[in-house]
Structure 1
Amino acid sequence: MNAFEIRGGKPLKGEIIPQGAKNEALQILSAVLLTNEKITISNIPDIKDVNKLIELLGDLGVDVKRVSKDTYEFQAANINLDFFHSQTFKAKGGSLRGSIMIVGPLLARFGKAAIPKPGGDKIGRRRLDTHFLGFEKLGAKFIYNAETGFFNIDATQLKGTFILLDEASVTGTANIVMAAVLAQGKTTIYNAACEPYLQQLCKMLNRMGAKITGIGSNLLTIEGVKELGGTAHRLLPDMIEIGSFIGLAAMTESEITIKNVCYNELGIIPDTFRRLGIQFELRGDDIYIPSQKSYEIDTFIDGSILTVADAPWPGFTPDLLSIMLVVATQAKGSVLIHQKMFESRLFFVDKLIDMGAQIILCDPHRATVIGLDKRYQLKGIEMTSPDIRAGVSLLIAALSASGRSTIYNIEQIERGYQDIDTRLKALGADIRRL
């Protein structure tokens, strides 16, 4: 098992460029299956989850060409539909939760698909009902085979309809949109997710010839077309990385500039970090964070303790709550972190407590953090990364802590963060791979 060894307590300095957005990449890459024409995608992050999906597309028969480090050309002209039922597909698809995203495009273009029960982070139940209920509304029929672990879906003729989603699922919305673009007639999706990554997908599909209106709202209307063509697309920078680097700078008293952040696509993320007392400024499209000796958590207007909770976009993304929690441990003041969506995502706080943080885990969804105001430095320990976001939160804690920390199971971190140790070293971090 690989590990990072970190000697913390050292301020960092310099510029860092965020990688392309992981969550956008999984949607955009799946969309290449909707056409037999060439699609060029740039700013693709070189991370395990994305590379697994690219490899899976190649196994399905997509012609994949790597043009540069972050740019690929895809052409899905000769798809092997028999590959769906192979043990190779079961093994590769089952280890990647993002593999569910290929179902919508396959149903739209070929009328059938199969998918093994996907894997991913162990952060609680992450149901797939929204995806399949949407496919059913469009006319698909699916059966789960408990013995083989496969979902088999048949959709010989998808027809547009009205769909009210049971939750504003980002991946569910994206999957249903991709299924609907080639369906017969008009599809209306209400309570649709409207994250920037979903908007990016819809804009790309429209460039390919789709007819989608309502982009950016929770009401999407899709007029089905007969076929789609090729296009070029550039991924947004990863907003979770941007938030992670803001938190890192505050925790380590570092002066960091985050380059080319596409600030207008960050929603309330910057203001939420400001409520923790973190100072930064926008320079062009870069975020500059000065070195800060302390930062003070805001309160509500009546003086009560601030609550930071996740919510569907344009609310605060759940992927950054772990970062907010660890950053709050060294702030002045207290905050309640409320993780509504996943019941296991806060369980990593026991490691922070071992490091000296003052945290009360109220229940699986809520934790109260009493900030140390940097009067007491966290201390280095040995720990294991349970998932991508908690792993990076522990990494940030280790970089701010005194002494040596060792983080095991860093494969989880590297599923979502590209060359993280190399990029941190460039800022002056004392981190090495074991």
Structure 2
Amino acid sequence: MPLYFDNRIVTRLSITGKSVRNRAALPLIGLAALLLLIAPHPSRGQNSSAASPDSTSQPTLVAEEEGEDAPRRKLVKWNEFDGVITTVRVGAGFLYEGAAYVQDEESKQQFDLEPAGKVRDFRLLFSGRLKTKRSITWKTGVMYDGPSDSWLLRETGIMVAVPELRGHIFIGRTKEGFSLNKVMVGYAGWTMERATMSDATVPILGDGVKWLGYVPELNLIWNIGYYIDSFNARQAFSTYDNQFVVRIAWVKLLSEAKRTLLHLGFNGRSGAVDDDELQIRSRPEAFPASYFVDTGKFRAYNTRMAGWEVYYRAGRWLFGNEYWAQAVNSPDTGDPLFHGGDVAATWLITGETRTYNTVGGFFKAVSPAKTVFQGGPGAWEAVLRFSYIDLDSGTLRGGKFWRITPMVNWHLSDNLRLELTYGYGMLERFDRKGATHFFQSRIQMQI
């Protein structure tokens, strides 16, 4: 059965101690209240007639969707322009989050964690479609990066439709293409943070060329990319001189009526390490926290990664598992082999379904059937995830860490989301096993 699931699908431009201190949560509460007060009434902002999206997205892709997908509903109209040569859309995103911790004595010996609230992300985005016979879309963006306290150039480039090659070619700065969850826009994910293995081993961006293909009659999608560091050598994500990434997935809509879908994918990656020096590390899925697992810097020449991704969507339910291994060519440290991944389940209590993009091979953001600003409940999403990472291999002792995370997302609208998260994690490092309770919250807004 082909993946052109609905004849209503059309090409579009996306315009649419034991003590815990609570001070870190106060800015979140204040900002949430402010946003609720200034949020537009549906008659002057939200498109109240917008229905829930189809469970599968269009068989075409625009540059904006490749990296920073816009909300389906339009919050404002002043940010869209229709020029002679190109259309232009101006977008923005903002994340603020807080975290607090309760640690046992062993954990305190490993790290001394303090409650904190921080601006995680602020970005300005620009995108459009050239008025050419062949579909050519473009995008660019700048982002304030909390970890480095600096402004970075985000996804930037052009997307050219190439039906002769059954897909699209993207040229510029973009997601490498390894892992469905990593490919997804960060604002669209079901958890506050990606799994530790993802952050430790997959750079967030790459500069190069990517071919995204889709053969509906075979239920087959792929992305193949080659990236170099000629233009990003000073960026924090630039840890490789060059890398080759391939992702192939078989995707089947099992029942359109029941909105059931199965995604089976394979990821492969090979990269030449920048300056023959590598460091694998990750925070414990809490942005304000320290790096729990960390190999430190060591001499290495190249890495190879391979793994799977399996997702099953049954209407309001979504189940997923990703796992991969990274083999490092590092004779000095015994050629270590690291591995990790996660398994997750999400339940949209209010009945929505996460739309799946059939060309990019990823799930899109939740769009409420009826937003809070239309008098509805918004969309409520319950999430449970277990993640694991092992960075103990060869002579390196980067640590082992697992975490279980139940959380709730409240999608007030397509533009505003609140997240409440609890986590329990166990770190095995420094010859100790330390347990930590995590209490996290985030507010997210985008136009």
Q: TM-score, normalised by structure 1?
A: 0.25
**Structure with the largest fraction of strand:** 2
**Structure with the largest fraction of helix:** 1
User: Which structure exhibits the higher relative contact order, with contacts defined as CA atoms closer than 8 Å and separated by 6 or more residues?
Assistant: 1
Q: TM-score, normalised by structure 2?
A: 0.25
